[in-house]
Amino acid sequence: MTPARTYPARRDDVRLLVVDPAVASFAETRTTALPALLRAGDLLVVNDAATLPASLRGQDQHGRALEARLISVADDDHEATPRFWAALLGAGDWHQRTEDRPAPPPLAPGDQLRFGALAGEIVARARLSPRLVAIRFDAAGDALWAAIYREARPVQYSHVEHELPLWAVQTVYAARPWAFEMPSAGRPLSWEMLLALRRNGVRWAALTHAAGLSATGDPAIDAALPLPERYEIPAATVSAIEEAHRDGGRVIAVGTTVVRALEGAAATDGALRAGRGTTDLRIGPRFRPRVVDGILSGAHAEGESHFALLGAFASAELLHDASAFADARGFQTHELGDSMLIARGALAEPRATHERTSPPHWATH
Q: Which domains, ranges and CATH numbers included, belong to the chain?
A: 2-50+163-364 (3.40.1780.10), 55-151 (2.40.10)
Tell me: pLDDT of 269 over 50: yes
Which range is least confidently modeled, 204-213, 287-296, 306-315? 306-315
Consecutive H or E run containing 253: strand 251-254
Average of pLDDT values for 138-151?
A: 95
Q: Are 150 and 117 in contact, with CB atoms under 8 Å apart?
A: yes
Over residues 15-27, the pLDDT tens digits come to 999 999 999 999 9
**Average pLDDT, integer, range 93-115:** 96
pLDDT of residue 4: 93
Tens digit of pLDDT for each residue in 42-69?
Answer: 999 999 999 999 999 999 999 999 999 9
Rounded Cα distance, 291 and 191, in Å: 25
Region 275-295: what's the mean pLDDT? 94
Percent of the chain beyond pLDDT 90? 87
In angstroms, the CA 219 to CA 217 distance is: 6
Mean pLDDT of the chain: 92
Q: Which amino acid is at 353?
A: T
CB 208 within 8 A of CB 178: yes
* Contact between residue 296 and residue 44 where contact means Cβ atoms under 8 Å apart: yes
Residue predicted with more confidence, 151 or 269: 151
Report CA torsion sign: 265, 269, 275, 279. negative
User: What pTM was computed for the model?
Assistant: 0.92
Instruction: Give the integer Cα–Cα distance in Å for 122 and 309.
Output: 33
Q: Residue 357: is its pLDDT beyond 50?
A: no
Per-residue confidence at 360, pLDDT binned at 50, 70, 90?
Answer: low
Predicted pLDDT of residue 74: 86
Going by pLDDT thresholds of 50, 70 and 90, the confidence category of residue 1 is confident
